[in-house]
Every structure is written in structure tokens, then in C-alpha cells.
Amino acid sequence: MMDGNDIIASESRRGGLSQGWIRISQIYQGLLDKWTPHIKSRWAGSILLIAIFILRIFLKQGWYIITYALGIYHLNLFIAFLTPKIDPAMDFDGEDDNGPALPTRATEEFRPFIRRLPEFKFWLSVTKSTIVGFFCTFIDAFNVPVFWPILVMYFITLFCITMKRQIKHMIKYRYLPFTHNKPKYRTVDSTMTGN
């Protein structure tokens, strides 16, 4: 049976652990906040991680299931990155038979493209998943023997079908997943109109 001192000691250890975890979380969040504006550097680091992962797969000649799963996950992230937050296919207001559309003319209101998965979260998920995949290649239980050319062909087929569907969606609802800035239109000079 625990006495009062044991209970206080265990709560003190629990409090110390939670404070330590909170401090680690704050440091991690601070690092993420510092990396946020450095888009090119972040992506260069992620591409380097992916290259190291692929190099390890080629050198060790194994862990193809991990590579396939990582590729599928990255494909899902990419599709979420290209998809608008509010899907026009699901946002029917009874405008017309083809459904609502994003603005395509100068007279329509400018609405920036808002992604379902923002760029920073896309980068963070790609980086974390690549690191997890890399560490999985050190566990022999994940090295399942498989005929890798079938996985490559299946991934290429899945990629093509998915991208074809996404491009058709973009064409149907007339949107591009990249908004650089608000368009500027020339104003009509009042002296030219005769007023």
C-alpha cells in the first residue's frame, strides 16, 4: 500500500515528465516556426532525405513494400495538396447543371486557391513519413520478399489514373492549384469614356 509520500513522489515525477514533454514540444514548434518561411530550403532537405532513402533501397535491395507504401502515401498527400479546400463538386448551390465554378473572368470576384492540404503541412508530412520509412528499412520484419517490378508498374498505373482524374476535375471546375497573386486589371479612364 502506498503512503502519502509515495503518492506525492509519483505525482512529482509525472509532473516533471509532463513539463519535460511540454518543453520538448515548445522547442519542436519553435523550430517549425523558424523553418516556415524557407520553402526552397525545406523542400531541398526533403528531396535529399528521399534521395538517401532511395539510395538505401537500391544498395540493400529490399524493403520494396515500405517504398511502395511511402510512394502511395506521398501520392495521397500530393492529391490533397492539389485539391481545393472546398471541393466544387460537393458545393452545389443550384447555379447550373455543371455545378459551381471558380471565377474565370475579370468581372468576377477574385478568390485565391485555398488548398485542402497547405504547403507547410504537405512538406512536414512528406518529411516525417520519409524519416519513418527510412527507419523502417532497419527492421528486417518489414523486408518482405516481393517481385518489385509489379509494385513499380502498379504504382505507375495508380499514379496515372489518379492524376488523370485530378486533371479532369481541374478542367471541369476551371481551377488551377496555383495562385500567385490577385490579378490587376486596367481601369477605364473617365476622359476616354466621354464623361
Of the candidates 155, 170, 188, 151, the one whose C-alpha atom is nearest the C-alpha of residue 62 is: 151
Residue 145 counted as domain residue: yes
Domain that residue 133 falls in: 39-87+113-176
Residue 76 counted as domain residue: yes
Q: How far is it, in rounded angstroms, from Cα 136 to Cα 143? A: 9
Residue 157 counted as domain residue: yes
Comparing 65-69, 75-79, 92-96, 102-106, the range with the smallest average pLDDT is: 92-96
Residue 164 counted as domain residue: yes
Write out pLDDT tens, residues 14-73. Answer: 777 888 889 999 999 999 999 999 999 999 999 999 999 999 999 999 999 999 999 999
Q: How far is CA 169 from the centre of its chain?
A: 19
Contact 127, 45 (CB under 8 A): yes
Q: Is 16 exposed, middle or buried (0-12, 13-18, 19+ CB in 10 A)?
A: exposed
Residue 135 counted as domain residue: yes
Measured from the Cβ of residue 74, the count of other Cβ atoms closer than 10 Å reads 17
Please count the structural domains in the chain: 1
Write out pLDDT tens, residues 152-167. Answer: 999 999 999 999 999 9
Q: What is the DSSP string of 57-124?
A: HHHHT--HHHHHHHHHHHHHHHHHHHSBSS-TTT---SS-TT------STTSPP----BSS-HHHHHH
Contact 99, 89 (CB under 8 A): yes
Phi, psi of 140 (to 5 degrees): -65, -25
Residue 55 counted as domain residue: yes
Residue 13 counted as domain residue: no
Residue 149 counted as domain residue: yes
Write out pLDDT tens, residues 66-90. Answer: 999 999 999 999 999 988 888 777 7
